[in-house]
Structure 1
């Protein structure tokens, strides 16, 4: 029995929490099919104040990393030593717990603080708060289930193929998720260094550091020249001429000094990602995460893990569908026709 958490309380929480997550997954699936989740390219100020994406990801994903550690610390205090704590759980439970925390360490620390560029689209406060609450909820559900509720033995680890198959799929999904994120980050970096021009060569842009550095230098020079020209036009003392005034104000429906974009997509240049899982789906990073948590559920063979896998699909599956439709609308005939949205060859 833990110092704060008793097995009876943990079992009751996991039971009701799992049922609630299954129901919320259905509601989320319907809602996200009808409404595009307002973050990333769909971010909008209508959903509240916007703040730095790196800070948002760090704060919203971190509960799923530190909540399991608090649960384990409670067990450590109750059992009176590290040796007793290590022996209290089967290796299957330890592997699943460590995998869960590894994913969220990568998601909350490595990805936003080490890899995400400063130019990443800000996140609405409402979206970040909802993500924080879910990670808090799910982190407690998965850790309590593995520590107190679900029991494993050696036959599950060695005699049945499900644990090994599930963990193989989970690690494969994690690798593909990180790889897909890398493709998107490299594409964004290539776009910024190339001045936002979408060309066929961008998929190979980062193969040569010399070419990247040269392109960066050219883009900096070009931006300086464009900036000087723009400042020169803004200093012009003759705004009375109708044609010049219209040129300065821009096209109808825009404000002087630039447009007022409603979403991140109108502010940035996007390109078609190639390579890896992107050859099969438009939302390869989301496909990989669905695979990852599906494998986790197979390895855990528990309803709490299955509920999490279901919620993951219901939350990001429709987002992948929206990505696919967005790519088709933006790039038209140039977009690869064989790609599906989320599930290769199917959807």
Structure 2
């Protein structure tokens, strides 16, 4: 990893992962929906909040990527496609499939924008400038293991979100989700995203990728536990053998 400011940006993301994990042991982030609540200041429609806070992860990553000397090389371009596959869906597709009516605190949106700015810089600059990804990296098992993890996590994340949307369209209020990853855990959508970015860390084999994977786990694992508690408290018939996040374990 290069010396200078870049190194400290990566360390800052690692530190932020630790701070986020500790903070979420005491506070459930009010993104809207079941955990939405007052007391967090002004709010915006959740659909608007998701677009505004996630779009920088796609657009700024591309802008930072294009600054790199290796931007036209094959492997960096493939990594760019992986990143955009997630964030184009998250910023420009997912919000428009959401149920209208829920709201998100502006504070949460602003904090997410700040993180996405840092994370896009750290990972884009590594992939197209500081990392070393010759064509021979395509023969390295780490690349393909990482891509397989990313693809599997992506499918689990998107398919789980789709099941939740279909469930909500069946009537007002919340119901127990069933089928797919929900047979095993309460938040397979979060599990899928954690697997995705673990795959990214393996495919890039970088501290930048590892920092993002660790932050994702630090952010989503406590939220998955909060969802699990909510389901158990809300539904008397919630499946007793369903885990919160990791099948058969946690």
Q: TM-score range by the shorter chain?
A: over 0.9
Whether the 8 Å contact between 1:44 and 1:124 is mirrored in structure 2 is no
Measure how far apart 1:85 and its partner are: 4.9
Measure how far apart 1:68 and its partner are: 2.1
After superposition, the CA RMSD in angstroms is: 1.8
Q: Could you tell me which residue of structure 2 aligns to residue 100 of structure 1?
A: 83
Partner SS, residue 116 of structure 2: helix
Q: Could you tell me which residue of structure 2 aligns to residue 240 of structure 1?
A: none
Looking at structure 1, the residues matched to 135 and 84 of structure 2 have their Cα atoms a distance apart, in angstroms, of: 23
Whether the 8 Å contact between 1:14 and 1:145 is mirrored in structure 2 is no
Q: Which runs of 5+ in 2 are unaligned?
A: none
Q: Which runs of 5+ in 1 are unaligned?
A: 1-6, 197-268
Looking at structure 2, the residues matched to 341 and 164 of structure 1 have their Cα atoms a distance apart, in angstroms, of: 29
Aligned residues: 249
Q: 2:63 aligns with which of 65, 70, 74?
A: 70
The alignment status of 1:118 with 2:100, answered yes or no, reads yes
Normalising by structure 2, report the TM-score.
0.94
Normalising by structure 1, report the TM-score.
0.69
Deviations 1:289-327 (A, max 9, x none): 001111111111000000000000000110000110111
Q: 1:284 aligns with which of 167, 188, 201?
A: 188
Whether the 8 Å contact between 2:65 and 2:127 is mirrored in structure 1 is no
Whether the 8 Å contact between 2:156 and 2:189 is mirrored in structure 1 is yes
Q: Could you tell me which residue of structure 2 aligns to residue 302 of structure 1?
A: 206
Q: Could you tell me which residue of structure 2 aligns to residue 341 of structure 1?
A: 244
Whether the 8 Å contact between 2:150 and 2:195 is mirrored in structure 1 is yes
Which structure's CA Rg is the greater one?
1
Matches within 5 A, 1:1-347: 12-40=4-32, 41-75=34-68, 85-86=71-72, 89=73, 91-113=74-96, 115-119=97-101, 121-158=102-139, 160-191=140-171, 196=172, 269-332=173-236, 334-347=237-250
